[in-house]
Structures are given as C-alpha cells and as structure tokens.
Amino acid sequence: MSELALKHSPLPDDDQLISCQTCLDSVPLSESQISEAEEYVAYFCGLECYDLWVHQNQQANKLSVKK
C-alpha cells in the first residue's frame, strides 16, 4: 500500500465494528462515543470507558510534568 493511501484511508461506516480505546470491546461505529484528539480520533464503547481514558491520560500527563 502506498504512503498516500495510508494517509487517506476512508473513515469507517456506521455498520463497521471498531475497538473501544479503553477496554478494546468491539462496538458498531454508530453506537460509539468519539473523542477527537489533536492528531487522532479515539472511539469508546460508552462514557464509562471515556471517563477512564481521560483520567488515565490526566495521570500520565501529571507524571510526565514531574520528570
């Protein structure tokens, strides 16, 4: 696959299964919660996993600032 094809891959359609960023469960795109970060899109099966992901990232950011 060319580098251009990798950069411009099509977005998933609503029937496609995606993996939750936190628990890795497969969920239909139409049922997922989406968080758009600066350089990527993360999908979540629900608000519980999204909240856990936010908390984990906040903790990781605090640790990296202390170094």
Query: Which pLDDT does position 64 carry in this prediction?
Result: 72
Q: Where are the alpha helices (DSSP H) in 1-67?
A: 3-7, 47-66
Query: To which residue do tokens 């890795």 refer?
Result: 24
Q: Which residues contact 61 (CB under 8 A, 6 or more apart)?
A: none
Confidence class for position 66, pLDDT limits 50, 70, 90 = low
Q: How far apart are CA 56 and CA 41, in angstroms?
A: 17
Note the pTM of the prediction, 2 decimals. Answer: 0.56
Domain count, the chain: 1
pLDDT tens-digit series, residues 9-64 = 555 565 788 888 889 888 888 877 777 666 678 888 899 999 999 999 888 877 77
Parent domain of 20: 3-66
